[in-house]
Chain A
Amino acid sequence: MIDLGRYAGTVLAAYGVSLLLLVGLIWHSVAANARARRNLERHKTDA
């Protein structure tokens, strides 16, 4: 186990917030892309 000493809260908060933001950005980008592809394909099928 890594010992972060008295700054454990500081380091974990920085990593936690950053990873949360990065995962949110990646999830949003991938989900929006899948939605756009689905909508376009559905439109082409309907037409």
Chain B
Amino acid sequence: MSLWEYANPAKFMRTTDRVLPWLVVSAAICVTGGLVWGFLTPDDYRQGSTVKIVFLHVPAALMAINIWVMMLVASLIWIIRRHHVSALAAKAAAPIGAVMTLIALITGAIWGQPMWGTWWEWDPRLTSFLILFLFYVGYIALWSAIEDPDSAADLTGVVCLVGSVFALLSRYAVLFWNQGLHQGASLSVQSGERMAATYRHPLYLSMIGFGLLFLALVVIRTRTEIRKRRLAALQAQEARA
């Protein structure tokens, strides 16, 4: 069986009908478990109880970047192979990515105030994240501004390609410029673990939970877009008849 079979809307709807309940339940268990476990961790000797913000901030920031990468892959599939489900999946993912970026920005500002003494700093990572958020908003606005869905998918695909530069900058900004306030990666495969297991394990669970939550939401939103497209096609068919 080929992966491209799922580009068929009917096949996508049938498959996700079976998968969605499992996704929703596992996302609910992991997000709730990760956040409750994280909230119950002991205070850090330097950061006090503000360390508990990491269980929201890091998973949201991780998803903000990865959702844009997913949108990029889906847009490329649309541009190259013209599979409608991939264009609709990219459209469906954008509001989720925007909310994740907003959560990362807000929790970062709330956390930054007591730790850095400022809500905001024009630091490379913070600035590139703000630009990424603006790209999400622009992407969503462009989809709703263009009436023809295929043209909208083409143009938003181009926006997605350009925005990928900022998605990558958000991830690697701390490596390019060292003058920023933002610390380096808390979890790193190359450098080993920089975080105590007490915090690392609930953080992993929260990250898995946010990933599953994204998958569940993107499936629900893609199904919504397919239904809307189907209704529009039926109405157009009747208008022609």
Q: What residues of A have a CB within 8 angstroms of the CB of B217 in the complex?
A: 25-26, 29
Q: Report how far A31 CA is from B27 CA in the complex, Å.
A: 18
Interface size bucket, A side?
20 to 34
Within 8 A of A (CB), among B130-168: none
B3 in the interface (beta carbon within 8 A): no
Q: Is A14's CB under 8 angstroms from B48's CB?
A: no
Q: Is A25's CB under 8 angstroms from B56's CB?
A: no
Contact A21/B102 with A7-B50, A14-B111, A30-B220 known, Cβ cut-off 8 Å? yes
Q: What residues of B have a CB within 8 angstroms of the CB of A14 in the complex?
A: 52-53, 56-57, 106-107, 110-111
Q: Report how far A43 CA is from B111 CA in the complex, Å.
A: 50
Contact A18/B56 with A13-B110, A33-B221, A37-B227 known, Cβ cut-off 8 Å? yes
Q: What residues of B have a CB within 8 angstroms of the CB of A33 in the complex?
A: 220-221, 223-224, 227
Q: Is B49's CB under 8 angstroms from A18's CB?
A: no
Number of residues from B at the complex interface, CB < 8 A: 36
Within 8 A of A (CB), among B89-142: 95-96, 99, 102-103, 106-107, 110-111, 113-114
Other-chain contact of B103, A21, A28, A40, A43 (Cβ < 8 Å)? A21
B238 in the interface (beta carbon within 8 A): yes
Contact A11/B49 with A5-B43, A17-B106, A43-B231 known, Cβ cut-off 8 Å? yes
Q: Mark B45-61, 1 if CB is under 8 A from A, else 0.
A: 00011101100110010
Q: Report how far A40 CA is from B13 CA in the complex, Å.
A: 14
B239 in the interface (beta carbon within 8 A): no
B234 in the interface (beta carbon within 8 A): yes
Q: Is A40's CB under 8 angstroms from B49's CB?
A: no
Contact A17/B234 with A6-B48, A36-B224 known, Cβ cut-off 8 Å? no
Within 8 A of B (CB), among A1-47: 2, 4-8, 10-11, 13-15, 17-18, 21-22, 24-26, 28-30, 32-33, 36-37, 39-40, 43-44, 47
Pull 25 A–B residue pairs with CB atoms less than 8 Å apart, ordered by A.
A2-B40, A4-B49, A5-B48, A11-B52, A11-B53, A15-B35, A15-B52, A17-B106, A17-B110, A21-B102, A21-B106, A22-B103, A26-B217, A29-B220, A29-B221, A32-B221, A32-B224, A33-B224, A36-B223, A36-B227, A36-B228, A39-B231, A40-B230, A43-B235, A47-B234
Residues of B within 8 A of A (CB): 35, 39-40, 43, 48-50, 52-53, 56-57, 60, 95-96, 99, 102-103, 106-107, 110-111, 113-114, 213, 217, 220-221, 223-224, 227-228, 230-231, 234-235, 238
